[in-house]
Amino acid sequence: MTRIKRGYIARRRRTKIRLFASTFRGAHSRLTRTITQQKMRALVSAHRDRGKQKRNFRRLWITRINAVIRENREEGVSYSYSRLIHDLYKRQLLLNRKILAQLAISNRNCLYMISNEILK
């Protein structure tokens, strides 16, 4: 077999990885072996958290809706997020929690009007 040096093959591969980790802190953007490991961990975290992102945002929307719905009920019976969703489903209203939460922040009157409507 003729002698073959690897030349710049490894270096080219590692440069790409180094570019990915170029903004990492400390040794994680300077040392080659650490860079490889940190890129792997970063991609794993990103993959896993793309699924969690959907869960987290839904949690946030539910908490925000619950906060607004519970707040304005001193005079009547205490209304809650669970009852609101139940009434929404009964009236077959397709508003999702994201829209309801954004409504709660930007235009609270609208949310109240919607819940008054579905309460009837």
Partner 1 sequence: MAVAHTAPSAFLSIPPQKLSSFASPKTPFLGFPVAVAPKPFVQARALTLAKPTPNQIRCQGDAVIPKEQKWMFDESNINGPDIWNKTWYPKAADHVNTEKTWYVVDATDKILGRLASTIAIHIRGKNLATYTPSVDMGAFVIVVNAEKVAVSGKKRTQKLYRRHSGRPGGMKVETFDQLQQRIPERIIEHAVRGMLPKGRLGRALFTHLKVYKGPNHPHEAQKPIELPIRDKRVQVQK
Q: What is the binding site for partner 1 (CB under 8 A)? A: 57, 60-61, 63-64, 67-68, 70-79, 87, 90, 98-99, 101-110, 112-113, 115-116, 119-120
**Least distance CB 95 / partner 1 (angstroms):** 10
> Interhelix angle for 32-71 vs 97-106, to 10°?
70
Q: Rank residues 13 and 70 by Cβ distance to partner 1 and give the closer one.
A: 70
**Least distance CB 27 / partner 1 (angstroms):** 24
Q: Rank residues 20 and 79 by Cβ distance to partner 1 and give the closer one.
A: 79
Is the Cβ–Cβ distance between 22 and 29 less than 8 Å? Answer: yes
d(CA 80, CA 72): 10
Q: Is 1 helix (H, G, I), strand (E, B) or coil?
A: coil
Q: Rank residues 19 and 110 by Cβ distance to partner 1 and give the closer one.
A: 110
**Least distance CB 26 / partner 1 (angstroms):** 21
Q: Rank residues 32 and 107 by Cβ distance to partner 1 and give the closer one.
A: 107
d(CA 17, CA 71): 51
Is the Cβ–Cβ distance between 100 and 63 less than 8 Å? Answer: no
